[in-house]
Amino acid sequence: MSVQKQVVEALMKPEAYDEEPGQIELMQTHISFVFLTRNFVYKVKKAVDLGFLDFTTLEKRFFFCEKELELNRRLCGDMYLEVVPINRSNVIKMKGEGETVEYAVKMKRMPQERMMNQLLEEDKVDSKLVDRIAKIIAEFHSKAETNRRISEFGSLAIIETNWKENFDQTQEFVGKTIPMKNFKLIRERIDDFMKGNVSFFEKRVAEGRVRDCHGDVHSGNIFVTDRIYIFDAIEFNERFRYSDVASDIAFLAMDLDFKERSNLSSFFVKRYVEYSGDQELMKLLPFYKCYRAYVRGKVVSFKLKDPSVGGEEKSVAMKEAKAYFKLASTYAKIL
């Protein structure tokens, strides 16, 4: 049994924790084991190499745990608490004795019912809340780091690389979750837009619009309690986080469109533009909305070839991926 598997088994037992955990729940993503206790959440990175991320060594997992803590404290200061060592002597225990065999990011547990995607389902998201989110993100972007190296990620060379990766990785889903005509349409419109706006992309870079952003701003990563927490910023790949601020805005705007709340999507963008003064963002919005919808379609499509995903979940994934790709083609048509 691998060390990481032993750690996962150990963390399902109360004695592995340095507090009374109550009932322990395990959730998994393709890159993390997430342990939910009564008051806290512990996130352990899976020892995987997926090309766009590499968590294969303990040293790398520690580095990215620290990075996750640092980045997410920008918008969630009191939610992200610390990086906790997991030690092994006779037993495996958080902050225990013996050698460190794993690390976890420790977070304050938030009420799941206060997640924005849940609130949207219950029709509890109004323009007032969206306005608050727009203001928070505008202020965050205004303070986010930018420098020559970060700015390079806003170059067309990098943006073209991102798109090429998307098209290459979705080739196998053509005719399954994305019709060939839409695949061709999106690729052609995106290529034309990039070729026709070289100077505009350069202008965005020159004006400092490419920053160390969040990278994953959608309603599933926003908690609304006594304050707003925009969590789970991307730590594992700078290419997905260093971007034009328009890409961050486009993600939540696309997400709201997808959830058939285009009124809130438009209002969110309008208020962000007013708070940030970034009027020219509007020109890039369909381009980055298309990108965000396409990536979601791709990621959901990956479930179709995951042996751990059951038949029912795969049929849901098929429907969802098709919807994302359809939305991406809608954006592409207006480029």
Over its length of 335 residues, how does the chain's per-residue pLDDT go in tens digits? 789 999 999 999 999 999 999 999 999 887 899 999 999 999 999 999 988 899 999 999 999 999 999 999 999 989 999 999 999 999 999 999 999 999 999 999 999 999 999 999 999 999 999 999 999 999 999 999 999 999 999 999 999 999 999 999 999 999 999 999 999 999 999 999 999 999 999 999 999 999 999 999 999 999 999 999 999 999 999 999 999 999 999 999 999 999 999 999 999 999 999 999 999 999 999 999 999 999 999 989 988 987 777 889 899 999 999 999 999 999 999 99
User: CA dihedral in degrees (257, 259, 261, 266; nearest 10)?
Assistant: -30
> How far are the Cα atoms of 87, 124, 149, 266, 303 from residue 127, in angstroms, in the given order?
47, 10, 37, 10, 34
Residues 329/186, Cβ–Cβ less than 8 Å: yes
- The whole model's pTM is what? 0.94
Q: Treating both helix axes as pointing N-terminal to C-terminal, what angle do 311-333 and 281-302 enclose, rounded to 10 degrees? A: 160
* The CATH classification of domain 114-333, taken from the options 3.40.50, 3.90.1200, 2.60.40, 3.30.2420: 3.90.1200
- Check residue 277 and give left, alpha or beta (phi > 0: left; psi -120 to 50: alpha): left
Per-residue pLDDT at 306: 79
Per-residue pLDDT at 303: 87
HSE of 325, CA atoms in CB hemisphere, 13 A? 29
Residues 158/152, Cβ–Cβ less than 8 Å: yes
> How far are the Cα atoms of 234, 253, 300, 309 from residue 227, in angstroms, in the given order?
21, 21, 30, 35
* Pair type for strands 32-36 and 40-45: antiparallel
CA 211 to chain centre: 16
The residue extents of the domains of the chain are 3-109, 114-333
Per-residue pLDDT at 51: 83
Per-residue pLDDT at 30: 78
Neighbours of 52 (CB within 10 A): 13
